[in-house]
Structure 1
Amino acid sequence: MAEMSAMNRKLIQNLAETLSKQVKHFNKTEAECLIRLFNGLLGDQSDRRVGNGLDRGKFRNILHNTFGMTDDMIMDRVFRAFDKDNDSYVSVKEWIEGLSIFLRGTLDEKIKYCFDVYDLNGDGYISREEMFHMLKNSLIRQPTEEDPDEGIKDLVEITLKKMDHDHDSRLSYADFEKAVRDENLLLEAFGTCLPDAKSILEFEQHAFQDTLEH
């Protein structure tokens, strides 16, 4: 077994070196920690397709348990944002690329990421329907409410008024970007798709603890 693990260690180091050059925000040691974490999360899946990476279920568990996300629809969109090649698995490279924005992304990177998450059909716009869908999904319904839809429609209109810069009744990337630059709180206007500072800190302390000890 010792031979095997030594080989693995070499492979992981080489991969970490490559990925830390391709992906922003992580150095080689951190990339190595994230690869190990990824391998640990894959675990000893009996499924031989494990070579492909984390499936939707495993990935959602991480979003939920590690980053405190609760909204199913948004978690599904985050999975798709990480899974850039759409093969239904988050590969080790997609994992590190995604986490680089998740944990340490610049405002630019986060704006682009959130827009992609919210653009449900991928047509380059966040439409009224998409806003309605996400807001309805994220609001806690009071059982006493007659028709919460009316309130949500109002909220969509208010949001459009605030964010739709070119007045075409939908949010283009430019609209979204301008609105968020003017008012950073609007970054996650349609649902929590980034971890909060506390989750990030805990995740990094856990993931990079080896690097902190040396």
Structure 2
Amino acid sequence: MAHITAKKHQAKLADELCKKTHFTKPEVESLLRMFKKYVPNSANLGHTHHSSRMDRTKFRDVLHNSFDMTDDMLMDRIYRAFDTDSDGFVNMEEWVHGLSVFLRGTLDQQTQFCFTVFDLNQDAFISRDEMFQLLKNSLIKQPTEEDPDEGIKDLVEITLKKMDLDHDGRLSYQDYSEAVKSEPLLLEAFGPCLPSSWARIAFLATFSEDV
């Protein structure tokens, strides 16, 4: 009986999520099954989606294994962007909503997502220091450089010059989104926080009817 109730609940959840995301109902159902595979004990925690939760370690495994991501700082920030209720876990609903933006989001949705990832202290601005930390973490260090930090500082200033539209020495969401609209390549200016096209296609192919 509990199994039937859980199945009914999952079908209802899939109905709700396909209306709010870029996935079809069969795709949502596949993603929910995938979630249960990653969180095998979810079946023993009751049948509400709030009781099935993916922790940071498992989520990072998914990012690493499915999307070839390796940057610890960015993986942690992506996890926080998925965890919209900030409870320290990703539940089924957050999983599907997050992947909808991550894999098929509009430019506006992905701009908001990337800004959230890059805003390390969550104060609604990307500061010089945050840019420096992100770029220092994601750029490959050249062994011949005497002081690589100087090169990163120069890059921060070049980026600010291009993106800081109100010239206040930091990027607001408006600065960032306007810059991305005029030059979409700036979306991941501070590091890769969206899947590469090949990783996206490979992941979608595991459950999607039409990639």
Equivalence for 1:9: 7
Q: Indicate whether 1:26 and 2:26 are aligned.
A: no
SS at match of 2:132: helix
Give 1:15's aligned amino acid.
L
- Pairwise CA RMSD: 2.1
> Aligned partners of 2:193, 2:13: CA distance in 1, in Å?
28
* Mapped contact 1:52–1:89 kept (Cα < 8 A): no
Contact residue 163 and residue 175 of structure 1 kept, 8 A: yes
1:145, distance to aligned residue in structure 2 (A): 2.5
Q: Which runs of 5+ in 1 are unaligned?
A: none
Which digits, 9 at most, give the CA deviation of each residue in 1:128-186, with x for residues without a partner? 00000100011112334321111100000000001111111101111101111111100
CA distance in 1, matches of 2:104, 2:12: 23
1:164-183 residue pairs with structure 2 within 5 A? Answer: 164-183=164-183
Letter in 1 for 2:187: L
Alignment of 1:155-194 (within 5 A): 155-194=155-194
Letter in 1 for 2:77: R
Amino-acid identity (%): 55
2:39·2:52 contact (CA, 8 Å) conserved in 1? no
1:115 corresponds in structure 2 to 115
TM-score computed with the length of structure 2 as normaliser:
0.91
Confirm or deny: 8 A CA contact 2:60 2:75 kept in the other structure.
yes
Contact 1:63 1:69 survives alignment (8 Å): yes
Tell whether the 8 Å contact from 1:163 to 1:179 is kept in structure 2 after alignment. yes
Q: Give the conservation status (yes or no) of the 8 Å contact 1:37–1:207.
A: no
Q: 1:16 to 1:179 in 2, by over 3 A?
A: same
Deviation at 1:38, TM superposition (A): 0.6
In structure 1, what is the Cα distance between the partners aligned to 2:31 and 2:44? 22
Residues 164, 171 of structure 1: 8 Å contact kept: yes
**What is the deviation of 1:35?**
0.6
**1:201 counterpart = 2:198:** no
Deviations 1:87-128 (A, max 9, x none): 111000000110010111000001111011101111111000
Mapping of 1:136-151 within 5 angstroms?
136-151=136-151
Query: Larger deviation: 156-165 or 38-47?
Result: 38-47
CA distance in 2, matches of 1:119, 1:153: 18
1:4 to 1:205, Cα distance in 2 relative to 1, 3 A = farther
Separation (CA, whole Å) in 2 of partners of 1:202 and 1:83:
24
Change (3 A) 1:52 1:39: closer
Does the 8 Å contact 1:35/1:92 carry over to 2? yes
Q: Matched residues in 1 for 2:54 and 2:81: separation?
A: 14
